[in-house]
A and B are shown apart, each in its own frame.
Chain A
Amino acid sequence: MERVVVTGLGVISPFGYGVERCKQSIFSGRHAFKDITRFSTEHSCAKRGAEAPPEVQPSYRSYAEYCTDEALRMAGLDRNEHREMLEQAWVAVGNLGDGMMLQDFYEQYVQASDADMQQLEQAFPVGKEDIPIHDRNPFQLAEHVAEQIGSNAPRVAFTNACIASANAIAYAFNQIRKGRCELAVAGGINVLHPLVYYNFDSSRAMADDVVRPFSSKRSGLLIGDGAGMLVLESLAHAQARGAVPLVEIAGCGLSSDGYHVTQPEPNGSGMARAMRSALRQAGCGPQEIDYVNAHGTGTPLNDKSETKGLLQVFGDYAYKLPISSTKSMTGHMLEATGAVEMVISIMSMLEQRIPPTANMLERDEELPLDYVFDGPRSMPLHRIMSNSAAFGGNNCSIIVQGI
């Protein structure tokens, strides 16, 4: 099996564009929550979220392009100079399609919903050029990224909600590990749009003010803009072209709770299976993990379930293991959250510093672990685990290690 390293990172977080801006904010413990400005919240109960500054027109394409470019630059890959390498690069992108630009389309569609196909084609002419509605198709974004880097290799979209981009990274890792490719670009995109916001609002899952993971006063999540793309390659390939590996991906694990459509399994057994599977693949024991970047949504059910899962896997060591939720600062970036949190985990490794869990009001007596409430913490970090969980009880854990 090939060893797999990360050589490039690109990120958009609610703090802005680029790795540096994300790093500055995430280690300061500041959150990005404010009133939503991009669309009306007049009729919703929730009013807040974590919008990225509007430096460019937010869209899935613009986010993917920015992050892919930044990741390629960091990896020292030039689209012209390394055309042959990039042509063979696999692409994996977690996303559920761009909902941002579709309001106009659906406004027309509602008018035309009883129309026959001929009338519909008149309203939305099918020609040689793309029409915006195609960007709502998840696979289309993987196609865009492949086109952007000049790849002619397989390109896959992952649609399993809040683990989609973690799963995309795990998938790319396994393709390289098994020797199917030398290079891959993987990550995920989420741009806040009214449909998903109102949907979350309808489920009463959102907090009133800020997200307070693992706190007794936690009342739910808030959604954030986010995107993260990573360049993964075999260690041999990176060394051969003189690239500097940032970290090694040691193992990944996927699991199913087999429990509920939306709720996590209360004992955390599903997430524990994903963590154990990642440890198995990484060939390391629980005590070799130095920090866990938790899924930590700030919902009453998730944080309790995840804590129980951590206790199952890490036993007594769980009490000594630093665990933090960076969603306390970024919010939940849905399909992009696993990729952005992987970028944050890699920053942690490179900085040898753990980002805190912000906004704690009062400890929850049922949650007894070390959630790094007291600000960023510098300490030696050799291996970091990043956890993600999704609707339907789909879980993903990824372990990165220093190199």
Chain B
Amino acid sequence: MGLNMDTHAVGWLNDAIIAEWQEQYGITGLHMQAVEEPVPAVRGFVRSPFNPLIYHSVKQAAAGTAIASELAPDRKGILLGSLFVDAVTEEETWKDLLQGKKLSPIMFPQSVPSAVIGYLAKELDIHGPMSCMGASRDGLAILLQQAIDWLEDDEADAVQVVCCDVPSIRAELWARQFANRSFGGGAVSFVIERRSWATKQGRDSRLSIAELLELGRESAHGRFHGMAFGLEE
């Protein structure tokens, strides 16, 4: 099966939808980081950059937004987008296993994508909707749509989104075969809120939805970053 990264799924995202998003919602926090840049260690997460990168990026993006505010915990949502999840922890675990070592119980939870999101949910007091998704086509738009659905359905007033993929054998081989380029990796985090509500709280949009989607298109150039779209090299 061949998969062209530049193909899109049929008939759901159109200019009218983007215009409506653009009018109603704004990006109030944004952080982007390539995997090469160092991040502080996070207690309980070892031997892989995946979880520390997510943790650090979300903390940076959330600062000064509704996510880091006194907003009621059940009005905040959190969403992870990742294609390859923590393939590095998997590689390290296989190495231990095949070298006859006892598996460390710390490696198991960190290999599960919802674990670090749950850890962040604790630190940021997020009790609303939470999910972890991955889509190889229109991934950013699908994540945005999910976050906006939570806002539209009155399940949340602000949603923290984090997109992260890190270099691994799996990611590299897939990127070379299907994206026809080498793999980079990193994290992109943003906070989405209703524009009118954020303005009332004294927070301006740092980026419009259209600008965010434009950033997402930039993954077509240079290295492939998985769902951590638009990272500058």
Name A residues whose Cβ lies closer than 8 Å to a Cβ of B: 87-88, 96-97, 102, 106-107, 109-110, 113, 117, 120-121, 124, 126-128, 130-131, 133-134, 136-139, 142-144, 147, 152-161, 163-164, 167, 171, 174, 178, 180-181, 194-195, 198-204, 254-262, 269-270, 273, 277, 281, 390-394
Contact = CB atoms under 8 A, between A and B. Distances in A.
Interface in B113-139: 113-119, 121-122, 124-138
A181 B138 CA distance: 16
A203 B82 CA distance: 25
B126 A256 contact: yes
B78 interface: yes
A138 B85 contact: yes
A109 B1 contact: no
B133 A158 contact: yes
Contacts of A254: 129-131, 155
A392 B176 CA distance: 32
A159 B94 contact: no
Given A130-B1, A156-B142, A199-B103, A137 B114 contact: no
Interface stretch (B56-64, B167-175, B192-200, B216-224): B167-175
A142 B142 CA distance: 14
B172 to A, nearest CB: 7
B12 A154 contact: yes
Contacts of B112: 96, 161, 390-392
B38 interface: no
Contacts of A167: 131
Contacts of A392: 112, 114-119, 121, 130
9 contacts: A109-B94, A154-B138, A155-B137, A160-B113, A160-B117, A160-B131, A180-B12, A258-B124, A262-B115
Of listed A97, A136, A137, A277, residue having the most chain B CB within 10 A? A137
Interface stretch (B3-11, B18-26, B206-214): B3-11
Given A156-B135, A261-B119, A391-B115, A139 B83 contact: yes
Contacts of A180: 12
B128 A256 contact: yes
A281 B94 CA distance: 43
Given A152-B9, A394-B131, A258 B94 contact: no
A58 B107 CA distance: 26
Q: Which 10 pairs between the two chains have the least Cβ-Cβ distance? A: A392-B118, A392-B114, A256-B130, A106-B94, A199-B108, A160-B132, A202-B103, A154-B9, A160-B114, A254-B129
Contacts of B137: 154-155
Contact of A160 (B9, B94, B103, B130): B130
A153 B7 CA distance: 11
A45 to B, nearest CB: 11
A156 B170 CA distance: 19
A256 B93 contact: no
A178 B130 contact: no
B115 A137 contact: no
Contacts of B93: 195, 199
B131 A158 contact: yes
Q: Interface size class for chain B?
A: 35 or more
B47 interface: no
B114 to A, nearest CB: 4
Of listed A110, A174, A181, A199, residue having the most chain B CB within 10 A? A199
Contacts of B170: 133-134, 136-137
A167 B112 CA distance: 15
Contacts of B176: 121, 126
A180 B12 CA distance: 7
Given A137-B170, A158-B132, A200-B108, A277 B155 contact: yes
Interface in B64-98: 73-74, 77-78, 80, 82-85, 87, 90-91, 93-95, 97-98
A154 B74 contact: no
A41 to B, nearest CB: 13
A356 B148 CA distance: 39
B40 interface: no
Contacts of B122: 257-260, 393
A113 B88 CA distance: 12
A337 to B, nearest CB: 14
Interface in B154-200: 155, 169-170, 172-174, 176-177
B119 A106 contact: no
B232 interface: no
B111 A256 contact: no
